[in-house]
Copies of this chain bind each other. A is one copy, B any other.
Amino acid sequence: MSKNKIYKPKPISGFPEWLPEVRRAEQAWFDHIRAVFESYGFCNIETPSVEELDAINAKGGDGESDADKEIYVIERLHKEEGDKEARLALHFDQTVPFARYTAQHFNELVFPFKRYQMQRVWRGERPQAGRFREFYQCDIDVINVDSLPLAFDAEMPAIIWEILSSLPGMENETIQIRVSNRKILMGFLESLNIPTRDGGTTKLSDEIISEIVRDIDKLDKMGEEIILSRIDQTGSQAGLGFGLDGSIKPFIKICKQKFTNGEDLEEALVNDANINTSNPTLKEGMRELSFVMNQLSHLPEGAVVADLSIVRGLDYYTGTVYETVFTDDPGYGSICSGGRYDDLAGNYINKHLPGVGISIGFSRLFDRIRQKGTLPVKGVSPADVMVVLPSEEVRSLMMQTAQALRANGNKVETFHSPAKLKKQMAYAEKKGIPYVWFPDLDEVKNMETREQTKANPKDWKHDEN
């Protein structure tokens, strides 16, 4: 034993780590997500953990958060004199690295480029409950040169539904993917003729439109009343003394509703809210949203709904947008978000690369289900069976038995010291290994039923069901 002073380790706030049995459940989640992504033909990429700081600054992500203010830079502890290397920063999302990757390898990629990416990202937020500084995201995106079929916008929610509805431990969660198209809101706001104090009318400026969009993004959290009063205040400050909330109120009413298809939504806009839907941007948005919803009609009712309050940030997304919530806890926020963007990598390459993507906030979701206690946690050991060592003389037979069992595709532990059988069994029990094998007896014991039967290691296979 060391005589040094002992440094007692403690958790680092925001940097989670799991016990082996929880990590096993986490691996099962990654395996499941990967399998679904690949079943739709998405290929995987990994990018380095770092980007050049200058590259990050050239593009600030999807504008969703103040992530760029939370950047971690890395630096050698013992720098050498004259070090003139570029400053490197840990990536805070997978969008910036994906854009940089696509630009850098543009000539070697096949388009449409469909990739998934499941890596850690880092954000130096203030430590707080439910917030991680290091966490996994699982992203898929499809990008193409110049134009990308709208059908991909429908593929994203289909994939996400398939994943989330069958993640182990999520069986009793009711989740809902909420879809909108930003063109509807933008077209509506563009089309408004707002009365001014001097008795005329005016169009809303881009700046005011941006502020209203930001407000509507908060509708779910803050409620209709607060949002309407904020919008009215925005109007007043801009010299639009009256009428702003009045013009927008009917639209907000529709924003609060969920629709199972685009036609019902359009009808509500026209008939219930008396909104003029002739604006071309609004029209295009309605057409796109209807197509996407229509493509998703095979999913269970309520799995995907059209919801005009979904906005997602400000500049990055240009069409379809997605959020995903627990319907019994919408205040928890979105667990999976994304949308259509017009140009992925314009800051890195002189190509027009429209795309659509979606991202699962993996670690936050996993931790929620873990804390709820519904995560199916199997034993610590992945082994199907443990071969005991009744005495030193049996060692060679034990090893042969274990190899024969492995050759059949079983996962096998061996107990390497000829301890009392009781102790060996207790070890298998504690590690959650479902079967114990007695090589000297050619017998296997089911640790749950305690049943012990004759068996041949050459043809025994653990049936996991």
Q: Cβ of A410: which chain B residues have Cβ within 8 Å of it?
A: 39
CB <8 Å contact, B110 and A15: no
Shortest Cβ distance from residue A127 to the other chain B in the assembled complex, whole angstroms: 9
The answer to the question of A12 belonging to the interface, with a C-beta cut-off of 8 Å to chain B, is: yes
Most-contacted residue by chain B among A38, A48, A86, A114 (CB, 10 A): A48
Which of chain B's residues has its CB closest to A153's CB?
Answer: B416
Q: Cβ of A71: which chain B residues have Cβ within 8 Å of it?
A: 76-78
The answer to the question of A45 belonging to the interface, with a C-beta cut-off of 8 Å to chain B, is: yes
Bound together, the chains give a CA A403 to CA B40 distance in angstroms of 10
Contacts A74-B74, A90-B74 known; A43 to B23 CB distance under 8 Å? yes
CB <8 Å contact, A7 and B124: no
The answer to the question of A274 belonging to the interface, with a C-beta cut-off of 8 Å to chain B, is: no
Question: Interface size (A, Cβ < 8 Å)?
Answer: 103
CB <8 Å contact, B41 and A383: yes
Name the contact of A343 in the complex, choosing from B2, B27, B77 (C-beta under 8 A): B2
Shortest Cβ distance from residue A18 to the other chain B in the assembled complex, whole angstroms: 7
| Copies of this chain per assembly | 2
CB <8 Å contact, B412 and A41: yes
CB <8 Å contact, B76 and A124: yes
Most-contacted residue by chain B among A9, A69, A110 (CB, 10 A): A9
Which of chain B's residues has its CB closest to A53's CB?
Answer: B77
Bound together, the chains give a CA A91 to CA B442 distance in angstroms of 46
Shortest Cβ distance from residue A242 to the other chain B in the assembled complex, whole angstroms: 38
The answer to the question of A417 belonging to the interface, with a C-beta cut-off of 8 Å to chain B, is: yes
Bound together, the chains give a CA A9 to CA B97 distance in angstroms of 10
Q: Cβ of A10: which chain B residues have Cβ within 8 Å of it?
A: 104
Name the contact of A348 in the complex, choosing from B6, B349, B350 (C-beta under 8 A): B6
CB <8 Å contact, B43 and A382: yes
CB <8 Å contact, A17 and B41: no
Shortest Cβ distance from residue A60 to the other chain B in the assembled complex, whole angstroms: 11
Name the contact of A12 in the complex, choosing from B7, B70, B88, B416 (C-beta under 8 A): B88
CB <8 Å contact, B17 and A44: no
Q: Cβ of A411: which chain B residues have Cβ within 8 Å of it?
A: 38-41
Contacts A48-B16, A52-B12, A100-B9 known; A2 to B149 CB distance under 8 Å? no
Bound together, the chains give a CA A1 to CA B433 distance in angstroms of 58
Q: Cβ of A314: which chain B residues have Cβ within 8 Å of it?
A: none
Bound together, the chains give a CA A2 to CA B399 distance in angstroms of 64
Contacts A77-B71, A152-B416 known; A346 to B48 CB distance under 8 Å? no
19 A-B residue pairs with CB within 8 Å: A7-B59, A7-B348, A8-B103, A9-B103, A9-B348, A11-B104, A12-B50, A17-B101, A19-B105, A19-B108, A26-B46, A41-B383, A42-B382, A50-B134, A71-B77, A72-B74, A72-B75, A151-B416, A151-B417
The 10 closest A-B pairs by CB, nearest first: A2-B346, A41-B413, A41-B383, A15-B48, A7-B58, A151-B416, A76-B124, A149-B416, A20-B43, A71-B77
